[in-house]
A and B are shown apart, each in its own frame.
Chain A
Amino acid sequence: MPTAPAPAFADAVASDRSLRRFLHGLPGVDTVGLEARAASLGTRSIKTTAKAYAIDLAISMIDLTTLEGADTAGKVRALGAKAVHPDPTDRTTPRTAAVCVYPDMVATAKEAVAGSDVKVASVATAFPAGRAALEVKLGDVREAVAAGADEIDMVIDRGAFLAGHYLKVYEEIVAVKEASGAARLKVIFETGELSTYDNIRRASWLGMMAGADFIKTSTGKVGVNATPANTLLMLEAVRDFRTQTGIQIGVKPAGGIRSTKDALKFLVLVNETAGSDWLDNHWFRFGASSLLNDLLMQRQKLSTGRYSGPDYVTVD
């Protein structure tokens, strides 16, 4: 099913020049102000009932991820099982949103989560560097989709983006979207490589205009991945995009979110920036692995009143 840009942006994507003009016409971002706002929201104190709600919500938003060269079918099966039953001792624990694997592990993952509503997401497009010919990238996507992936996590061509070849990046996303078919497309910017917040805002709009279903911070493979500030900025972008077009887009911070405390801060960002419409795993995800165990330990603490320990959650 071919995707066309939202009509509002037909002029903007007419040429490299018009696209540059559009993206550079977006409001600037003041670094200090953005980071101060993110830090300020980070001081929210989430206690008792709010904490219980937020922990379950966070668990349900996790794309439980393994993206290692050393991944085995056994590890992926274990991950799938954990996604379906994160805490075997407490069946009230929500499932995670998805498991996230390399394309060659999609089939295995599908089997592991079969019968549940846990989705399988596959990274693609020569993840994580994105340095391959377009045909190779599209082949990567088609393989994952054919194997049953519900969601595709693509990486943008940062080299092209930083060189100002916005139309190239745009067209590649459009092509990947088309190759993804019914699978929901998450577009990874690798914010840690984009250098400025202005670039993150531009990349966010570029991705949304090209048909992304989600915009995602990072691969988890570079030094700095999801931060409160870059996620706040992307939440502003999806909020503004919906105001302008009526189209709602999801956000996925990925990499570096390890503790319950961190996750709750991100949920506060969602709540007070994009709003409660995004407090749902259809619209917000955490790309994470070790985060789940910390959430589970905190959940056990809330339900039992005593602190849990690593022996009471499963290793990955």
Chain B
Amino acid sequence: MSTVERLTVFKTYKLYVGGKFPRSESGRVYEVKKATSAAGAAGKANWLANAPLSSRKDARDAVVAARKAQAGWAGATAYNRGQVLYRVAEMLEGRRDQFVREVADAEGISKSKAAAQVDAAIDRWVWYAGWTDKIAQVVGGANPVAGPYFNLSTPEPTGVVAVLAPQKSSFLGLVSVIAPVIATGNTAVVIASEERPLPALSLGEVLATSDVPGGVVNILSGRTSEIATPLAAHQDVNAIDLTGADGDADLARDLEIAAADNLKRVRRPQAVDTDWTTDPGTDRLTSFLETKTVWHPTGSLGATGSAY
């Protein structure tokens, strides 16, 4: 009796939009392959999955979902957002093995290197979970104006942020650009790494089970330039993070030009070989914050000059 190797069940990777898992409205998919490491795995079956090839309409739907979720997410207490982000870390920890495998396949690295990436990504959620109720004190505060006024500056989320996730770092890089955007109350439309989208699509499954309200994070896979172009021009998107345009200066410039139409806040791409394991600081948190300053008269107690 010969033992037949059990046939594994493939996963159909889907988009994550408005808390749901739709296919691309276009019905298109594209082939995602294993990254070939320097050692090379020539000849081996490289096919990983057929990922949805998102269209401009998928981008539009994602913006609608993100806008719908924005007020509620920004209105949640900072403490609550911190708990939700921490919950993401908890859920990821439980699915660590899956992500190690996906990252190893996506990036063509060893399981142990992939594990380091996944661990760092989980820790990054914890880092940003802690920031939600601290950033306002760090970047806001009372301003000592020269007059009888109470004057307070507080940071507020910019709104809906389009995020081009880094092309190389499929998971740590991805988490490093999503978490700071939503920690402060923004909602995000994320374009996954074009060639390495699977960890991002799987992250959607984690977010859906982590108390992150639907629409707060929306994840699209496909051609970065095809999806980013309508997002950069979209009048209901408030900011765009061009990190994922890192290898393509022409695309980055064109997107920045399109973004000027409604004066989106633009975060320009950084170096292609960014080391995502370094201390992230607060830079990405503050990139998508607005400062609101409120004045109110104070006056004095002895308003009429009484001696009391």
- Write the residues of chain A forming the contact surface with B, with a CB cutoff of 8 angstroms: 30-33, 35, 191-197, 199-200, 222-224, 227, 230
Contacts and interface: CB of A to CB of B under 8 A. Distances in A.
Contacts of A30: 297, 299
B146 interface: no
10 contacts: A30-B297, A32-B149, A32-B297, A33-B297, A192-B305, A200-B304, A223-B305, A223-B307, A227-B304, A230-B304
B306 A32 contact: no
A236 B149 CA distance: 24
A194 B306 contact: yes
B303 A195 contact: yes
A32 B299 contact: yes
Given A32-B148, A32-B149, A192 B298 contact: no
Tell which of B149, B298, B302, B303 has the most Cβ of chain A within 10 Å: B303
Main secondary structure of the interface of B (DSSP, over half): loop
A199 B308 CA distance: 15
Nearest to B148: A32
A30, A31, A222 — which one has the most chain B CB atoms within 10 A of its CB? A31
B3 interface: no
A288 B239 CA distance: 65
A230 B303 CA distance: 9
B278 interface: no
A32 B298 CA distance: 7
A224 B304 contact: yes
Contacts of B298: 32
Main secondary structure of the interface of A (DSSP, over half): helix
Nearest to A224: B305
A195 B299 contact: no
B305 A227 contact: yes
B8 interface: no
B297 A195 contact: no
Nearest to B147: A32
B300 interface: yes
B306 to A, nearest CB: 5
Contacts of B149: 32
A235 to B, nearest CB: 15
Contacts of A191: 304-305
A195 B148 contact: no
Interface string B34-70: 0000000000000000000000000000000000000
Contacts of B304: 191-192, 194-197, 199-200, 224, 227, 230
Given A31-B148, A195-B302, 12 more contacts: A30-B297, A30-B299, A32-B148, A32-B297, A192-B307, A194-B306, A195-B306, A195-B308, A196-B303, A199-B304, A224-B304, A230-B304
B295 to A, nearest CB: 10
Interface string B270-308: 000000000000000000000000000111101111111
A193 B306 CA distance: 5
Contacts of B305: 191-192, 223-224, 227
